Structure 1
């Protein structure tokens, strides 16, 4: 990495954090939001990312005329994933990132500390899958903390793996249930869930489960587990470990300097033209997409509704490039964009409901916007988040699949109409929004607590 990427911090009185996100948008965006909060408190932050994402962040910031806070510096290391590789192949990315970055990491720490000799790295903050950096930092005598970009409940589920194995609930090879029991309760004050909602259950079970069994041991080297959530949203989770600290909700600022995907801002002007609480917003995040047959059913379901909709259909490698709109789909009532400023959309008065994959960032933003959900989870912690949305908070509904495993156009039409006609659900969504906004003060207190610990 060129030395010009290193900048010396002049103020020596505050902590210097090295923040490291696993190189996917769902980890990078919230960690950058958290870094911005730390910067507003006068802390110094060096954000380490992959070479590819470093270039994307710099280009996006320059294109939008935005500047990252002066207390935040970006540095990069290669992650070993080539341009010909599929970045949706998570086992490959996890293994490549660990082997490639960890080899260069000690030299990076040495260079950063040489360039900032009076303000050396105080604490390393990592997201999931980057626990190796905590381990290396621990050997160097540097404090460590985990920033968890998903729900606190999903973190407690990973932390409960050894206990679940010991109690004979799941096996030790891939985390699958070994009894006929279909439900699980991680703790007495946590909701009862389908065992299939555990976040390792619907991925590449053998690799991911074995990886997380080891990863959670490494993540325990972090003295704090910081979560983008609030105590009231998931109160039961915080009885599991004293390390858990809610510092949410983290919501991007108006400038949105943390997004490096090109946003189509024309959708905001389009929303301004729609009646209040009339638009169905559809987005499945940055990683998952419906398969072609399901994509067509979704398009025809939106057509059947005959209501205004805003639909995010990503472009690029591995993202809907083989999907085609059915001939019957006119899209005349809607607007389709490649990427969108989601926080602004979910806070817009024209939005009526959110068809979501239930990723945690989307869940937090939807709750913060007071919008009812239609839950369409794919994998990982999304099934667990659906349980909270539908069964605990009661601010959304799920879809039922037909005999072919598809969510039919008729099912989409029926459930959207059901949510739009449910006044009580809308009231619960508004009350949940008010609660989360009030919880911001608690998040700020916990942030102060964390910063004070880093100064010690």
Structure 2
């Protein structure tokens, strides 16, 4: 029989690929063999980012299937990407499963699919392969997706997912973040056709997940007791970033700039503002300039991740304020993509200006780092509410009448956060709880061990 052989398929976005890759590394350490299925487009990015380093990962084999889009089309057009996924990927995945099971003695013993790829669980069932649903974000977001029938009944949204009265905040359950219906996952794209496509896609995925034996989530009871008691089927096994040290294969789409860590080594402990907005956030030129000038005004060392596609303009280079780079040369570092987990674990980091994606949120939490929240879309508003209102380990920014976060606002909030010891103390307290949950007798670790036992049986 050999080692159990798992086929893992993430939703094709950076924030989904990395946690499933972390889970895969954890499973490899328990003797499993993984076939990891990216889209052709993302597969190429992972290979390009890590060069030949990824070929030697014996127990994790990277394979790919098409996502239904043209190579040069923008994967940030989520409506179009969703159509491509729905039309093309199921057919291609069936071919892949047939090929693996037809040619190897080590047939697939389990499919682990991102909840957003629920159709893959239907395919697993067709082949009579056990399926596991994996949710890489907060349990709260999944609770929201699972509550859509209730939101329809209560007339919070209409049948296309559009908020009926977007002004009223709603709370699904006591001790969970209040949410603005206009910020619901499927709404905040500003494109009605895309919204409808994504809302329907989410409803189909909800159905696909109903029959799985295991629905595992990258969270812990200590962070989300409210959401987890609301939907007890969600089993927390995270945060995964706290449980394993990734090798060269992190699943990152950009090459990581290793000079960041050498630069951090030269900064005083607890002095550096780390600024990173994940793989998706796009800034308009005015906001980009205000952020640069806010970091300059703060008069502190900063490490700022500026992706090549951070702004709508093709090159961010021309967008820096005139003379900015020369003025901050002694204390500011810009990088195209950083080894974020190592950065957040570095003793020189004082705080994290973040888009509040779930991976960034739990990586910051696992290192006791306070946050300044700058959400962009999807679940990031829920995570901001957790950080500021429920866990109380960070502050949010206010926008001016143009909708811009000004340089003065940035400087003021950095000072308020870093000068108030309570934020750091609270962050360290939460770090203790989170690290405890993945330790020997922690709640996440116990569930994970039960999961391993089930997989091996």
Give the TM-score normalised by the residue count of structure 1. 0.92
**1:22 counterpart (11, 14, 30):** 11
Answer yes or no: is the 8 Å Cα contact 1:106–1:136 preserved in 2: yes
CA displacement 1:399-436 (0-9 Å, x = unmatched): 00001110011100110110011101110011111111
CA displacement 1:209-252 (0-9 Å, x = unmatched): 23222222223243322111111111111123332111111126
Query: Which shows bigger deviation, 44-53 or 261-270?
Result: 44-53
The reply on whether 1:116 has 2:114 as its aligned counterpart is: no
Answer yes or no: is the 8 Å Cα contact 2:282–2:309 preserved in 1: no
Paired with 2:276 and 2:364, the residues of 1 have a C-alpha distance of 11
The reply on whether 1:279 has 2:277 as its aligned counterpart is: no
**1:51 counterpart (40, 49, 67):** 40
- Name 2:158's counterpart in structure 1: 171
**2:196 counterpart (202, 206, 225):** 206
CA displacement 1:325-366 (0-9 Å, x = unmatched): 111523322000000000011111111110000000100111
Note the 1:351-390 alignment, pairs <5 A.
Answer: 351-390=349-388
Answer yes or no: is the 8 Å Cα contact 1:39–1:69 preserved in 2: no
**1:186 counterpart (158, 167, 172):** 172
Query: Which shows bigger deviation, 429-438 or 12-21?
Result: 12-21
Question: SS state of the match for residue 145, structure 2?
Answer: helix
Paired with 1:61 and 1:337, the residues of 2 have a C-alpha distance of 17
Note the 1:310-389 alignment, pairs <5 A.
Answer: 310-316=303-309, 321-323=314-316, 324-327=319-322, 329=324, 330-332=327-329, 333-389=331-387
The reply on whether 1:453 has 2:454 as its aligned counterpart is: yes
Answer yes or no: is the 8 Å Cα contact 2:273–2:349 preserved in 1: yes
- Name 1:135's counterpart in structure 2: 122
**1:75 counterpart (38, 60, 63):** 63
- Name 2:415's counterpart in structure 1: 417
Change (3 A) 1:60 1:403: closer
**2:245 counterpart (248, 253, 260):** 253
The reply on whether 1:158 has 2:145 as its aligned counterpart is: yes
Question: SS state of the match for residue 390, structure 1?
Answer: helix
- Name 1:263's counterpart in structure 2: 256
Displacement of 1:45 in angstroms is 1.4
Answer yes or no: is the 8 Å Cα contact 1:21–1:31 preserved in 2: yes
Change (3 A) 1:308 1:96: same
Displacement of 1:190 in angstroms is 2.5
The reply on whether 1:87 has 2:75 as its aligned counterpart is: yes
Query: Which shows bigger deviation, 91-100 or 351-360?
Result: 91-100
Answer yes or no: is the 8 Å Cα contact 1:102–1:133 preserved in 2: yes
Query: Which shows bigger deviation, 377-386 or 215-224?
Result: 215-224
Question: SS state of the match for residue 216, structure 1?
Answer: helix
Answer yes or no: is the 8 Å Cα contact 1:371–1:429 preserved in 2: yes
Question: SS state of the match for residue 435, structure 2?
Answer: helix
Answer yes or no: is the 8 Å Cα contact 1:283–1:357 preserved in 2: yes
Paired with 1:287 and 1:157, the residues of 2 have a C-alpha distance of 22
- Name 1:432's counterpart in structure 2: 430
Query: Which shows bigger deviation, 372-381 or 284-293?
Result: 284-293
Displacement of 1:199 in angstroms is 2.5
Give the TM-score normalised by the residue count of structure 2. 0.91
Q: Gaps spanning 5+ residues in structure 2: where?
A: none
CA displacement 1:51-73 (0-9 Å, x = unmatched): 2333333344445x466642222
Answer yes or no: is the 8 Å Cα contact 1:183–1:194 preserved in 2: yes
Displacement of 1:50 in angstroms is 1.6
- Name 1:443's counterpart in structure 2: 444
Answer yes or no: is the 8 Å Cα contact 2:45–2:253 preserved in 1: yes
Displacement of 1:316 in angstroms is 4.6
Question: SS state of the match for residue 46, structure 2?
Answer: helix
Q: Number of matched residues?
A: 442
The reply on whether 1:297 has 2:295 as its aligned counterpart is: no
Question: SS state of the match for residue 89, structure 2?
Answer: helix
Paired with 2:200 and 2:287, the residues of 1 have a C-alpha distance of 31
Change (3 A) 1:68 1:29: farther
Question: SS state of the match for residue 80, structure 1?
Answer: coil
Note the 1:88-107 alignment, pairs <5 A.
Answer: 88-107=76-95
